Each structure stands twice: as C-alpha cells, then as structure tokens.
Structure 1
Amino acid sequence: MSNIVAIVGRPNVGKSTLFNRLVEERKAIMHDESGVTRDRHYGQGQWNGKFFTLIDTGGYVVGSDDVFERAIREQVEIAMEEASVILFMVDTHTGINPLDEEFVKVLRRSDKPIYLVANKVESMEHRNNSAEFYNLGIGELFPVSSQTGSGTGDLLDAVVSNFEEEGEENPNEGLPKIAILGRPNVGKSSFLNILLGEERTIVSDVSGTTRDSIDTHYKAYGKEFILTDTAGMRRKSKVKENIEFYSVMRSLKALDECDVAVIMIDTTQKLESQDLTLIRLAIERHKGVVLIANKWDLVEKDSKTAHEFTNDMKERLGMASWIPIIFTSMLTKQRVFKSIETAIDVFEERSKQISTSKLNNVLLPDIKRTPPPVHRGKNINIKYITQLKGSAPLFAFFTNYPKHVHESYKRFLENKIREHFGFEGVPIRIIFKEK
C-alpha cells in the first residue's frame, strides 16, 4: 500500500498550515475563513528516509445543508479511505468543540492508525489545555504548533513508523503537466471529473467553487501525466475577495509550471477578452495551448455552425490561429477524451526536435524562392538553420544582417516551419544570429 497521510478535522483548526509545513512549501491557501479548502489537496512529504503523500482536506461539518459543506464531507471521507494514516486535528485555543465530538463518531468507523494532533500549542498553557482532548477517547495525542513546527518531529516519527516501504520520493517527477484554465463556471472541474471517472473535485454551478490548483496523476493512451484543475480567472476589477486573489495567483503559478495549457471557454459567450489574455499569457510563457469550446450542446446548430465558430475564433486569435479548437459538452461527454488526446499530442509537438540537415534541406529552398526584403540596398542572406535545445521549439537562423530581418518575414518563416513540420498548438520562437 502507498504511504498516504490524510489531515482531517473541523474547519479552522490549522490543517492547511500543517500540510504546508510537512510538504515544505506554501501549497494550500491559508485563511481564517471557514471552508477555504474545499477539494482534496495532495503534496509530497519526507521524514527519516521515508516518503509519503499528504492529503489536505476541507473542514468537516455535520448537520449543515450548505451545498459545499455536504460536498466537503464526501471529499474528507474519500481521503480517509485512501489514507494509510489519519491525522485528526483539534484546536487547543478553543478546546473540545461539538463538531470534534461528531467527527470522532466518523473516525471510529475507520480501522486506520489515527493520531490526535492538538494544534496551536504556542505556550505552556496551551500544552496543558491539550490534555482535555484525551476525553475524545481516540488516537495518541501529539501537541504541536503547525505555525512554528514545534512537536511535528515527534508526530512524524510516529506516522512513518507505520510505513514498511520507503515510498517514492516524488511519483510525479518529470511527468508532463497539463493545466486546465479558464474563467469561472466554464466546466473545468466537470472536465476533470469525467476524465477521472470519479468526483475528484467538487463540482457545482456556483462560480468560484475551486479555490486551489489541484494536481491529479492521470494515465491515458499509454501515457502518464499530471492534470491541474485551477480556480476560474476573472478580470482584476472583479477580484475583490482576498482568497480569490490568491486563487488567481495559484492559477498563474499552474500556468507557469505546466507544459500544456488547456484553456476552456463557454461557446454560448464566445471568446472574451479574459480568454484572449489567458491565451496571450500561455504563448508568452511558451506553453502548448489547446482551446476547449465547452457547452456546445447549448448552441443552436446547422451544418455550418462548427465551421463558422472555428473561423470566427481563428479570426479573433489572429496570429495564434495554430491553436487547435475542440468543441465539447461536459453534459453529454462529447469529445471530452478527444480534448485530452489533443493535449497529449500538443505536448509531444512541443518537445519535438527537427534535425539540422532536415531543416536546411526543406527550408533553404523556400528562403531562396522568397528571400528576405532588401535592407538599404543590401541583400539579407540566410545561410543556415538549426533548432536549439529547450523546453519549447526555438529556431536559430544564421544571416549576415540579423538585426534587419523584418517582423513580417519572421512570420513567413514561422508559417513555413508549421507547413513542413507541424507544431500544432505550440508557440514557435525564431531568433536571428550573425553568420
């Protein structure tokens, strides 16, 4: 069995702070508002040579009709099923809460090792207060401060004593990353859940449900990769809530870290300026891009509709018309798997290397037929082309006047590279060097 540790408890006891400390990075959003962590959140930890996966969960609330709190409860229960060790967190500042007592009833159904983590022990008084949690009658008690890290060493000693295997340092290391991005409410979480065939993230039609960026290990078409679901991104003027600001920052971080950005739009609203901004950011960061036009089931169609929509979008994309567009419906699951297949193809295109001999044999005749415009009476001669090593396609053209090659000719060369070698969904960079 994998080494998996789930952190559970009622809202606001410090679960995300402990999670961030144990994975040694600020991965989960921390805020003193109840319900910030909604989905299960995964990270990697290591102690005494043993590696484990850590799951942060939302605050468990019983007897609430709130749609999110009901969904959070389901997420917590799934995390407890997945885990090999459970950390039940309580708060020494507030003492035993009725929600803690309710949660103990849920924990008693589990046969996993449970450790009672009395958090926020910042003084001797708090340490003394922690003794009252023995009354809950569950788990060995560990007083800790997830803020300062005190007591976490003893806790981890106990946790890793349950693991027979060393575990993997980082099972996701080196895997391609595909981030699912877009405005709120376009269907990103539904897309992920259909792909995974489970309720991996909470889906609701309330805008702003996903607040953290969530990584999931995924296998398809004989390939393994990481899927990242992100919070919906909206215009800065609309980002009022503190937490939402951090969510948008997490989405931008997911964009920075991914190889391919799957940008989802709502076909009933067409391409909006926020969508175009997101596409521009992905291109500037040299990411592969796939555009998913979702809610296609809501569009009235005739035989030309998809063609007209595609042309209209390509026009709006301008020079980025090399981005593939897939029309989907999360409701009918139409072309959902085609979308992810396209994203994998784009990843492979992004890492494609063309040999120098092939580039020169194919492109130099094109350049001879259509040479660069003359600059101040001087002929610009391109002698040699090579693809430089890098995470995204970068081509160097060697010429006698590198500074004087016109931007329009650069576009001509890019179009010729695409015509001969593909690179669908991938930004191409071209530089000119002196020969």
Structure 2
Amino acid sequence: MGKPVVAVIGRPNVGKSTLFNVIAGDSISIVKDTPGVTRDRIYADCNWLDMNFTLIDTGGIEPESTDIILSQMRQQAQIAIDNADVIIFMTDVRQGLVDADLKVADMLRRSGKTVVLAVNKVDSIQKFGNDVYEFYNMGIGDPMPISAASRLGIGDLLDAVCSHFDKASASQDIQDDRPKIAIIGKPNVGKSSIINKLIGTSRVIVSDIAGTTRDAIDTVIVHNKKEYVFIDTAGIRRKSKIKEELERYSIIRAVTAVERADVSILVIDALEGVSEQDAKIAGIAHDRGKGVIVAVNKWDLVTKDNKTMNEHLSNLKRILSFIPYAEYIFISAVSGQRLYKLFDLIDMVVANHALRIQTGVLNEIISEAVVLQQPPSDKGKRLKIFYSTQAAVKPPTFVVFVNNKELMHFSYVRYLENKIREAFGFRGVPIRFIIRERQDK
C-alpha cells in the first residue's frame, strides 16, 4: 500500500506553493542525476509526527479570464478528487469568499472525499479572526486560519490532515499481496492498448474530446492462474492549450499511480524514441524506489535490420542512465508481440524488490569487494567498513557502518552496489544505501 496522498487545491494567488514549500521544507529531494525530475517541485515526500505522506501542489496557471480560472480550478479539483486521500482546499481571507470557491466546494462536497479547509493569509487573529467565519458558508467543515508566509497554524493544519490518514489507509485492502503494476508514460504511447490486449477486450474508451476524464482504473488480469493488478494512468487526453499544464497533470497522475504500485512499466513509443518527458516519468518511479520495466511499444512498425534493437537499446540506456538497473522489452500492443513475456519480467522484478539477503552472506560479499578494491582515503585516513546489514525491502535497503561518512565517496557506493548486483542480481530494482558512522572500538 502506498503512502497517503494529500493534494493542495485553490485559486491562483491564494498561497498554494508557499504552503507546499513550507510543509515540504528541506525534505524535497533534489536528485542530481535525474533529469528535470524534482526541479519542478510538483510533489514531495513529507512527514509529520511519524506520518509519511506525499504532498501534491496542483499549482498551475493564471489565465486572464475568470471563466478559464474556474474551469482550471475544476480540472485541478477533479484530479485531486480522483487521486488524493485528503484534500487541502485553500482560500484567501483578504479576498474573502468568491464564487469560484463556492463552485469548487460544491464539487468537493459531492465527491465524499476528506477535505480540510485552510483560510490563508491570516497573519493576525485580532485583525482577520472574524473574517474567517465567512468560510463556514461553504459547508465543508471548519475553516482553519493559517498564514503560510508567516508559518502560523501550519502544525494544527497538519494535525487535522494526518488525523484522516488511518481511515484513508484502512479504506484500502492492506492484505492485498497481488503484484501491482503501474502503466506509466506520455499520452498516446499505447498504455491502454497494452492493457486491452492483455485482457482481450476494449475496456478503456479513450476519446479525443477535451476533458474526457476517468479515474485511473485498476484492472485485474489473470495469467497462469495468478492475479495481477494493473493501475492504468492512460485515457486522459486533455486538449489543453497549455502544454505545461498537461505535463503537470500527467506527472501528478503518474506519481499517485506509482505510489501504489510495486513495479512501474514505462511505455515508450518506438517510432518517437525516448524523450525528456519519458525520463521525468521514469524518475518518479526511481525516486520512489519502485521496480522499473521499460516497454518499447509499436516495435512492429519499426523498419529493422540486425542492428536496430541494439541501437535503440543503447540510445534508451544513454538517456535513462540514472536507472541502469531497469529491464527492457520490445513489444507491440497491436500484434501482441512479446506481450506475455511481460508477466515473466514482472514476476522477476517483484521477487527482486522483496528479496532479503542474509547478513553473513552480505558481509562476505562486501569484504571480498574491499579486498579487490581498496576503500578511498583522504589525508592519510582510510575508509573502514565495519559491518553491513539489510534494513528493508521494497526497495532493498542496506545499512553500512563505517569509521567516517565523509570518506564514503559516491563512486565507492556505486562499486559496492555493482558487487552486490553481481552476486544477487536485483535486476529491475533500485538499491538504496544508508551510511552510518561508528567509532572504531
């Protein structure tokens, strides 16, 4: 089960991004070698009093005309309603209650989702306290006065948000151990077609009319008497004039789908090749420590000779170099070519994602690695590795105890990772390392 998802929605200029940055604080991971993934800060992993959750800023644009603002807000609200466990609905005490707020409140009320109403820019209770009461008129619960800029009332707001998490997680079946697979990728690469071919029916009706949305639908597919849950993020083709908005929405969808999955299948169009947007979407799965399979679709349409596949593969691996562990498969959703091999790959990646290594065996491998390549040293001090153990699975996470953290260079961690992979495989899944310092006894 993934972490709860909290979405922030509201009109332009009510302070959504300020609140997002305050709550996310330093916990926004800027991943150096992942192209453009966390730079646009649409989502962040946050925690509050031992509660972990994913925060989404539905942010967006500020068009001139008011009816466009309303339709944008409706779209944002709809996405939040589809994907979030708890919604923070932000309003602005200084502008007061406006018509657009009431219309969105109406949608939220009908959705039955948990909503926490935040009234922002209340820098002084003496000055603005009475104005907060006006927001009771929306009929979606008690308005909470906050000031994102002055960091007032944020703790109470987060307490209110977190109080709903247990219900959110209880509403999902925690004991469900079927493999969960998120199908991610840009629009039109054939995500729905893959699922339709695996089921054998045309289930996802995708039309090109603007605004035809549906939720990410979970599809159960049985293969060799085993059930797999496919989480599909396809079918949303908003004919939006604003390309960034479309990208933002597809990223939000991908985040929420990946969060719930064990394995992500990144679908790439063989004719278009791999793009920066694909790398961004792959980065979401990598950041969240999920298994990754890259499926190159429409392979039947590519004119081939005996070098074509290798050329494609090396190009893909170059652009997606930050996920060197990913598995690749060339398929066609239309002809069904290699489609059922996906299940073998999924089984392998799911098993690797949950693989545990005995501590004794792990330390043997690491001691051997240290003998083969001496640890780095600096100003006469050499790195010593005392002991390692596997702390977690999904993704496999190793704690390494050393004499000095500073001496543990990134390149040496990479070297140890390669040695562990040589010994145990871990194909298709990322490996995490936590370096801890311990004094030499």
TM-score class, shorter: 0.5 to 0.7
Verify the 8 A CA contact 1:371 1:381 in the aligned structure 2: no
Output the CA distance in 2 between the equivalents of 1:239 and 1:280: 18
Structure 1 contact 315–321 (Cα < 8 Å) conserved: no
Q: State the percentage of identical aligned residues.
A: 40
Q: Using a 3 Å threshold, how does the CA distance of structure 1 residues 405 and 211 change in structure 2: closer, same or farther?
A: same
**Is 2:296 the counterpart of 1:293?**
yes
User: What is residue 410 of structure 1 aligned with on the other side?
Assistant: 413
Match of 1:217 in 2: 220
Partner of 1:238: 243
Pick one of 338, 343, 367 that aligns with 1:340: 343
Q: Which residue of 2 aligns with 1:174?
A: 176
Matches within 5 A, 1:15-34: none
- Mapping 1:235-274, distance limit 5 Å: 238-240=243-245, 248-274=251-277
Correspondence for 2:426: 423
Indicate the SS of the match to 2:321: helix
Work out the CA distance in 2 between the residues paired with 1:257 and 1:193.
21
Describe the SS at the equivalent of 1:318. coil
Of 322, 326, 329, the match for 1:323 = 326
Residues 356 and 387, structure 1, Cα contact 8 Å, conserved in 2:
yes
Q: CA deviation at 1:33?
A: 9.1
SS at match of 1:315: helix
How far residue 413 of structure 1 moved from its aligned partner, in angstroms, is 0.9
CA separation of 1:368/1:191 partners in 2, compared to 1, >3 Å: closer, same or farther?
Answer: same
Kept after mapping to 1: 8 A contact 2:184/2:254: yes
Q: Given that residues 271 and 301 in structure 2 are in contact (C-alpha distance below 8 angstroms), is that contact kept between their aligned partners in structure 1?
A: yes
Aligned-residue RMSD, C-alpha = 3.7
* Alpha-carbon contact 2:254-2:281 (below 8 Å) kept: no
Partners in 1 of 2:372 and 2:251 — Cα distance? 48
How far does residue 248 in structure 1 lie from its aligned partner after superposition? 4.8
Letter paired with 2:382? N
1:343–1:280 Cα change, 3 Å = same
The 2-side partners of 1:210 and 1:185 are apart by: 15
Q: Give distance in 1, aligned partners of 2:224 and 2:258.
A: 24
Work out the CA distance in 1 between the residues paired with 2:400 and 2:184.
Answer: 34
- Confirm or deny: 8 A CA contact 1:233 1:251 kept in the other structure: no
Is 1:311 the counterpart of 2:311? The answer is no
Determine helix, strand or coil for the equivalent of 1:217: strand
Unaligned runs of 5+ in 1: 1-30, 42-118, 121-146, 149-168
For residue 226 of structure 1, give the secondary structure of its aligned residue in structure 2.
strand
What's the CA shift for 1:252?
Answer: 2.0
The Cα shift of 1:218 comes to 2.5
Using the alignment, how far apart are the partners of 1:341 and 1:380 within structure 2? 41
Alpha-carbon contact 2:390-2:396 (below 8 Å) kept:
yes
- Residue type matched to 2:308 in 1? T
Distance in 2 between residues matched to 1:284 and 1:335, nearest whole Å:
28
- In 2, are the aligned partners of 1:403 and 1:432 still within 8 Å (CA)? no
CA drift of 1:207 comes to 9.4
- Alignment correspondent of 1:228: 231
Aligned with 2:353 (options 317, 340, 350) = 350
Shift of 1:280: 1.2
| Paired residue type of 2:406 | K
Q: Deviations over 1:218-270 (max 9, x none)?
A: 322443231111036999951447xx965653332111221111110101111
Identify the residue that residue 369 of structure 1 maps to in structure 2: 372
Question: Which residue number in structure 1 is paired with residue 402 of structure 2?
Answer: 399
For residues 273-294 of structure 1, what are the alpha-carbon distances to aligned partners after superposition, in whole Å with 9 as ceiling and x for unaligned?
A: 0000111111111111100001
Distance 1:304 1:258, change over 3 A: same
- Once the two structures are superposed, the pairs formed by residues 140-159 of structure 1 within 5 Å of their partners are none
The aligned amino acid for 1:303 is N
Residues 290 and 324 in structure 1, CA contact (< 8 A), matched pair in contact too: yes
8 A contact 1:396–1:433 mirrored in 2: yes
| TM-score, with length taken from structure 1 | 0.58
CA contact (8 A) 2:365 2:419 kept: no
Whether the 8 Å CA contact 2:251–2:281 is kept in 1: the answer is no
- Letter of the 1:315 partner, please give it: R
Give distance in 2, aligned partners of 1:207 and 1:362.
Answer: 56
| Aligned-partner residue type, residue 309 of structure 1 | H
Distance 2:340 2:205 in 1: 20
Is the CA contact 1:185–1:205 (under 8 Å) kept in the aligned structure 2? no
* Change in CA separation of 1:387 and 1:335 when aligned onto 2, cut-off 3 Å: same
CA distance in 1, matches of 2:318, 2:190: 24
**What count of residue pairs does the alignment treat as equivalent?**
283
Q: What corresponds to 2:192 in structure 1?
A: 189
**Further displaced range: 286-295 or 192-201:** 192-201
- C-alpha separation between the residues in 2 aligned to 1:229 and 1:356? 38
Query: Conserved in 1, the CA contact under 8 Å of 2:325 and 2:428?
Result: yes
Task: Report how far residue 410 of structure 1 moved.
Answer: 1.0
SS at match of 2:378: coil
- Could you tell me which amino acid in structure 1 is paired with residue 243 of structure 2? K
**Partner letter of residue 174 of structure 1?**
D
